[in-house]
């Protein structure tokens, strides 16, 4: 009789274990995606990596999407909705968007970020090697030497540059300060422009156009949220080339730039998310990454319009945009 009871108990344990395992296999993860102003290429890359890792939308993963459009109050509402939904992970884009996500989400909820230029300097993580918290991700940072090298290659006679970045945004302020320092070593003077809005950026560009040889944009949310488009209008009118930090800006008409590809960064971030969700690896056990070397993008129509020639053989990893 005891033997029969033991066998029955073992059968129950095996059935319970199988049920538990099956329940784990059938778990539907909830992932909140906060895109700030959009960035469809980043989201596409992220989702592709999730799918490749076995996390398939409509089967074992549910995405909750939020776009705040540079509105910090709306961003807080979006992240609060993620918290209320008890998401398993947040994919957050840009520095200001991710700062809010970090403030609101519980410290046990993983946050994978992308399109954050200076994740350590802005206080989101301790370092690329070790975040020290529940965050990890990819940076769209491009080493400053790449900008200076490209500028000297494309415009060897340039003597003065105007750099544009949103006033009060930490990541672009750091970028501008470092670029100004390096350009000074190369004998190039810089005018530091800090507009707050797209209209102000357009007005400042017109005011300074006759005083400089080239405009430069940064990776901030103003340039990526309409500011660079305003700058392109002035560039076309005044025949001033733009050294851009943004792929979309070059596609729209900025002249050239070394850039990180948001799709590639999204894929890398998605691979991190798969490790966190499926392999139960903690964010601080994964290193944050950037794309190196960057792409050198050149707008073919813009350089033709301005009259710039691309030196042959001097720009490896270069791609033309029509």
Q: How confident is the model at residue 25 (pLDDT cuts 50, 70, 90)?
A: low
Average pLDDT, the chain: 91
Residues 180 and 306 in one domain: yes
Mean pLDDT across 56-68: 96
Mean pLDDT across 9-33: 62
Q: How confident is the model at residue 131 (pLDDT cuts 50, 70, 90)?
A: very high
β-strand partners of 135 = 111
Q: Is residue 22 part of a domain?
A: no
Residues 158 and 284 in one domain: no
Give the H or E element holding residue 162.
Answer: strand 160-164
Q: Is residue 55 part of a domain?
A: yes
Q: Which domain covers residue 44, as residue numbers?
A: 28-141+262-290
Residue 258: phi and psi, rounded to 5, are -90, 120
Mean pLDDT across 153-164: 96
Mean pLDDT across 122-150: 95
Residues 165 and 125 in one domain: no
Residues 53 and 190 in one domain: no
Give me the pLDDT at residue 224, please.
Answer: 85
Give me the pLDDT at residue 14, please.
Answer: 53
**How is residue 157 written in tokens?**
């006679």
Q: How many domains does the chain have?
A: 2
| Full strand arrangement of the beta sheet holding 89-93 | 61-66, 29-34, 89-93, 111-114, 135-139, 289-290
Q: Is residue 166 part of a domain?
A: yes
Give the H or E element holding residue 155.
Answer: none
Residue 225 has pLDDT above 70, yes or no: yes
Q: Is 227 helix (H, G, I), strand (E, B) or coil?
A: helix
* Nearest CA-CA partner of 232 in 222, 244, 221: 244
Residue 19 has pLDDT above 50, yes or no: no
Residues 163 and 85 in one domain: no
The pLDDT tens digits for 77-103 are: 999 999 999 999 999 999 999 999 999
Residues 98 and 178 in one domain: no
Residues 160 and 39 in one domain: no
The CATH number covering residue 314 comes to 3.40.50.2300
Residues 36 and 158 in one domain: no
């Amino acid at each position: 009789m005891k033997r029969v009871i033991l066998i029955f108990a073992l059968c129950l344990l095996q059935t319970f274990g199988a049920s538990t395992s099956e329940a784990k296999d059938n778990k539907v993860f909830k992932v909140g995606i906060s895109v700030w102003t959009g960035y469809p290429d980043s989201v596409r890359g992220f989702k592709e990596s999730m799918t490749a890792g076995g996390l398939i939308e409509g089967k074992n993963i549910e995405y909750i999407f939020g776009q705040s459009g540079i509105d910090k109050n709306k961003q807080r509402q979006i992240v609060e909705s993620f918290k209320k939904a008890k998401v398993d992970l947040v994919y957050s884009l840009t520095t200001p968007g991710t700062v809010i996500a970090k403030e609101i989400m519980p410290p046990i909820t993983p946050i994978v970020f992308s399109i954050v230029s200076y994740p350590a300097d802005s206080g989101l993580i301790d370092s690329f090697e070790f975040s020290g918290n529940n965050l990890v991700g990819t940076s769209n940072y491009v080493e400053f030497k790449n900008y200076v090298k490209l500028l000297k290659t494309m415009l060897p006679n340039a003597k003065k540059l105007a750099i544009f970045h949103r006033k009060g945004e930490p990541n672009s302020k750091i970028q501008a300060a470092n670029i100004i320092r390096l350009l000074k070593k190369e004998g190039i003077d810089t005018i530091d422009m800090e507009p707050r809005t797209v209209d102000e950026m357009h007005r400042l560009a017109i005011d300074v156009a006759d005083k400089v040889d080239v405009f430069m944009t940064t990776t901030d949310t103003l340039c990526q949220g309409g500011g660079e488009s305003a700058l392109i209008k002035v560039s076309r009118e005044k025949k001033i080339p733009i050294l851009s930090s943004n792929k979309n800006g070059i596609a729209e008409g900025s002249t050239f730039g070394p850039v990180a590809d948001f799709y590639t960064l999204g894929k890398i971030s998605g691979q991190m998310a798969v490790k966190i969700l499926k392999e139960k690896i903690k964010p601080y056990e994964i290193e944050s990454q950037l794309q190196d070397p960057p792409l050198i993008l050149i707008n073919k129509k813009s350089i033709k319009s301005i009259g710039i020639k691309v030196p042959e053989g001097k720009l490896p990893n270069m791609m033309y945009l029509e």
